[in-house]
Structure 1
Amino acid sequence: MGFWYYSSSVRRKRNLDGDKSQEIPLRNNLSGSLSMHLDCSIYGRDDDNRGEMNYFNLSTILTATNNFSDANKLGEGGFGPVYKGKLINGKEIAVKRLSMKSKQGLEEFKNEVILIAKLQHRNLVRLLGCCLEGEEKLLVYEYMANTSLDVFLFDPKKCKELDWAKRTSIVNGIAKGLLYLHEDSRLKIIHRDLKASNVLLDDEMNPKISDFGTARIFGGNQIEANTIRVVGTYGYMVPEYAMEGLFSIKSDIYSFGILLLEIASGKKNSGFYHPEREESLLSYAWRLWNDGKGLEFIDQTIVDTCPISEVLRLIHIALLCVQEDPNDRPTMSMVVLMLSSKLINLPQPSAPPFTKLLQAGDASSSYFYF
């Protein structure tokens, strides 16, 4: 089945070979089941975004992904698998197929489309469009050649490709993306699931934050919210959220701090186990840094080539981000300033929380619901 392509200047346009485009701007396809689930709020976008959200029909996605073949599978996230695809015009895409088993699937689908349609930043993954047909709920993204940060960071061979310069660039890119979400976009977005697997890398290893299924919009003066339905990933979840359902921009700051510790050490927080002590990556980092032994925490693949003082400063900033009291954690604008200027004196952090709940299990891509 062919596609009509609509644009602001040409209402209907066929390709010279007679085929029709594979994409339909979403505003022109709100009919049937799609119109029942998505509303006109998805049309809002920032002024610097010249693109338009498109609707893809299922036959196009099936052709592009070879019927969701295992050979095209890029990985599996909390809400389902992701596949590589190629449209007939040669454009490569990544297709997120939301699990049919998830009771929360439709809400996460709707949430991600509505939120990311309003956001545009070089350090946020670009959502090209979606498909809602039958039982299928599909999100179509720009394809990221180097998949996700965790694929490199926690692989004993690929981690060697992440020298200190690349790690610094990735840290700064993630920080700028979060700053945009928290302070610089016309919305105030709390991501709520920042982790290594949700940071995608393009062909030049530039980072882009992805997966906005659990993100929330805050009002202009709103500083925190409460929920009885806690969703997230073990190891990255802030204590006040896991225990009391409280979340704020400081929740993302905490997750960012954990991510910094992983980037500095090359170790995964979820499931980390020290052979001599029962401690998490967070408590391990604090003990070494507090004892003046931060050098032992640094990833062995970069320790001989990196500027030690810079890595220790990164660990220091990470520990400030994971303070137990949210008020003691810096804002993202302050984090970006601390990362960019060595002239900023860093305050002394206190011991971070060591909550057993956050240390349980190796569930780096697993979600739980209370």
Structure 2
Amino acid sequence: MSRPDRAPSDHPQIATPRIGVLIANLGTPDATDYWSMRRYLSEFLSDKRVIDYPAWKWQPLLQGIILSKRPFTSGANYRLIWNNEANESPMMTITKRQVAALSAEAQRRWGDQVMVDFCMRYGNPSTPDVVERMVKAGCQRIVFLPLYPQYAGATTATANDQFFRALMTQKWQPAARTVPAYFDREDYIDALANSVTQALGGRIPQRLVASYHGMPKRYLMEGDPYHCQCQKTSRLLQARLGWPDGVIDTTFQSVFGTEEWLRPYTVQHVAELAKQGVTDIAVISPAFAADCIETLEEIQGEIREAYEHAGGKDFTYIPCLNDNPDHIAMLANLIGENLSGWI
């Protein structure tokens, strides 16, 4: 902290200028009890980017029936995967490791002039709180990186929205850049392919199911590019692995509500594969940058059970890229490109 040159003695001190890199992920409840889960779910499911029904129609249903019951079931599911030692969700644990690795890489590449931190769209640490912290630390420029390889209004866009709202509260607003989706980057596809090869020991399963988080089909018809970007990621992954056509299937999980979502649904698809005599499948989640409730509980619980109940035998879950060195190197490259002209 110092005063500007030629400033009077009563001028407030100003932090040394730095560049901030703010990593953003979806979020996590603070704990698994009813009220922690209710706060988290209320914030998440009240987001108009996620559920775009009119508030007069949706909020009474959400605050009444849904949030009276769902916090209990969601809390029970989180308890199955909770990191009890750190008293936090696996997503929080993994995100901290990712940021620590990226901070070390940023220090190696750019020294002290770049500060790396993270925020969550829902829950803590909140985007406004972290933006405030970065501004106080001297970040006059911020690169905002939503950890979503494929763009969706309900993920990338709402994270950006919250970042922009946080900037609105700053007296001295930093310059800002948002990082676009990276679903077709060569180094991202390479990292996915390497994770598949390592997890499977080089063998090719009868089927690799690329399971992406779902969304209402209506969003696709209204112009959201998510479905197309997921399909392209799967195609590029197949080409990079050099596998024949028909080995990789693209599916969608985590269906919510009554309207039709993107198909095929993962839980139904793996059961159908088993009924068709497919006895060896692997499942990967290319839309998730860190393992979370949807991968650790839904895929390895509900989806695995559906496959085995229908007669399937070998089920291999391929972890998310997490803090894998290939993933960290790819993200550092992506950050470096978006720092161009600033550093």
- Is TM more than 0.5 here? no
Using the size of structure 1 for normalisation, the TM-score is: 0.24
Q: Which one has a larger percent helix, Structure 1 or Structure 2?
A: 2
